[in-house]
Chains A and B, each alone.
Chain A
């Protein structure tokens, strides 16, 4: 073991090259993986906080506003517990930032436990049926204001002006701040009444963006979706799973490119480790031959090489993971998060969704250490099982 450790220090160039390659690969792999896992967890939480079904209206292949009359039809479908209309869209807050505004029927929407926007923190409250120009906001809104050039600190009781699509300013009072497990979907969301949202987004009176539906307990969502689809000609029904899948596909394509890059990177690291570790070189062969001639057996030689590789692999992986944590959690994963999250990043002023799990850390260590072990130990083993005379003389 001491000989192996000594080798790590003695062969500085070799050790530095291997560790550097591992740091780079583990760092890239880790920083992307923490975001991927964060996105997956976030999307799962979004699905949990969202409605069971969303019904949109499609006219001429394009999404259109939904009329009030659909409410009775949807409520009458077997298995539907609640069908409530929503009005939602995005508002520009300048500097490339967008916020999501969602108008809801306060009494209906607020009756669903745990749905987005209803879990109000501290002294605030959720909307009631008579509220106008009042809003509950996600924590991201407060973060956006605080991070703005003016550095405004807002909270419950503050007034916030939104620019409507017709250019007018509409003042809203913040009556509550809600908590949410998700960053992508609801972190920067404003929940207000239907009429106020409609005014901000420039929609016609009594028109809605979609309907949010909750099913009776135990009902099959696909069956309800099928019934709605059959009964309402212009409807497009999205189940909770379909919404989550659509989100995952949007991310997954980019994640796939990253996976490909990882694979290429990993192969590069293996080749580099094989070359730089010089396990197959004359020098390494001779060293194994010397050790064997001096009385080291095959197991001793393999132990030395394994310990060297484990030391280098663990060091490289640990530094890579550490840098990835700093890059993601402290620096906010510049460039990488923009690529991986795409348009969503515009909405995320307060941080990207990140999750570090034991399995990810384990995977990172495995993909770092195993290739190095294989690249160094296999040639050493081949030399170790050859006669020392043949190894030393190269005959």
Chain B
């Protein structure tokens, strides 16, 4: 049986600084399938190109060459406006460096994705508090993220990624700043969402626990897919 692909790439290359002396070939001829509702992992050592491939899959970066398809529609050549719309409505991100805004509180950070939609600020903040509550962070809602521990910041980041109820969640090294117990919690949460809500999860990690937990693994070395 052919499994339903939500995203697939064909011959994707990503070259940073093309033509310059510092040219970097971060992704080389990547063709992968992301199956709807599955947890897909990109494994490989640091610097292997996992984050670059995640950025391309999450429409944060355009491939230098090749195509990215979302439910059969080619997206990489589309305008930034359309790609932004897709990101806003369908994709959630958990960044390795979290990329929270330190001056804002946890709830304000989590509410951010909804402030560029029709949702009012009050509704967005209420929803943000619900998401934080579901991750056990309700007591930290009004703390500035700079005042939180690494693990707490990671959970704020996860809550923010889930704010727009995405059908694709992209997580870059989600276990970087949390201990083993929290990692297990996080993976269980994502697994639950995958199974119950059909959430498609794409993770980049070099953590064996994360890789073993996923449904499908693509190993990346030096920007290339390893069989």
Contact = CB atoms under 8 A, between A and B. Distances in A.
A286 B84 contact: no
Contacts of B160: 294
A150 interface: no
Nearest to A390: B61
Contact of A292 (B84, B101, B108, B164): B84
Contacts of A298: 80
B3 interface: no
A2 B115 contact: yes
B60 A291 contact: no
A295 B103 contact: no
Interface string B95-113: 1010101011000100011
Interface stretch (B86-94, B135-143, B199-207): B86-94
A293 B60 contact: yes
Interface string A282-315: 0000110111111111101000000000000000
Contacts of B103: 7, 10-11
Interface size class of A (residues with CB under 8 A): 20 to 34
Given A293-B87, A295-B88, A392 B112 contact: no
Interface in A1-40: 2-3, 6-7, 10-11
Given A3-B115, A295-B164, A387-B61, A290 B55 contact: no
A309 B116 CA distance: 19
A296 B84 contact: yes
Interface in A351-395: 385, 387-390, 392-393, 395
A286 B164 CA distance: 21
Contacts of A289: 99
Nearest to A387: B61
A383 to B, nearest CB: 13
A295 B116 contact: yes
B104 A290 contact: no
Interface residues of B, number: 33
A153 to B, nearest CB: 61
A285 to B, nearest CB: 11
Contacts of B104: 6, 10
Contacts of B112: 3, 290-291, 294
Contacts of B58: 293
A389 B61 contact: yes
Contacts of B88: 294-296
A297 B81 contact: yes
Nearest to B99: A290
Given A300-B116, A388-B60, A389-B55, A293 B93 contact: yes
Contacts of A293: 58, 60, 87, 93, 95, 99
B116 A296 contact: yes
A294 B62 CA distance: 16
A293 B93 CA distance: 8
B99 A6 contact: no
B5 interface: no
Contacts of B84: 292, 295-297
Interface string B8-23: 0000000011000000
B89 to A, nearest CB: 7
A390 B80 CA distance: 14
A213 B206 CA distance: 98
B95 to A, nearest CB: 7
B121 interface: yes
A46 B121 CA distance: 59
Contacts of A286: 99
A7 B112 CA distance: 12
B189 to A, nearest CB: 20
B93 A294 contact: yes
A286 B60 CA distance: 13
Interface string B112-150: 110111000100000000000000000000000000000
Interface string B163-181: 0100000000000000000
Given A6-B104, A388-B60, A389-B60, A295 B113 contact: yes
B60 A387 contact: yes
Contacts of B55: 388-389
A49 B88 CA distance: 70
B51 interface: yes
Contacts of B108: 6
Contact of A392 (B60, B62, B117): B60
A281 B185 CA distance: 37
B21 to A, nearest CB: 15
Nearest to B54: A389
Interface in A120-167: none
A295 B104 CA distance: 18
7 contacts: A10-B103, A291-B116, A296-B116, A297-B81, A388-B60, A389-B61, A395-B17
Interface of B: 16-17, 24, 51-52, 55, 58, 60-62, 80-81, 84-85, 87-89, 93, 95, 97, 99, 101, 103-104, 108, 112-113, 115-117, 121, 160, 164
Given A293-B87, A388-B61, 4 more contacts: A11-B103, A296-B116, A387-B61, A392-B60
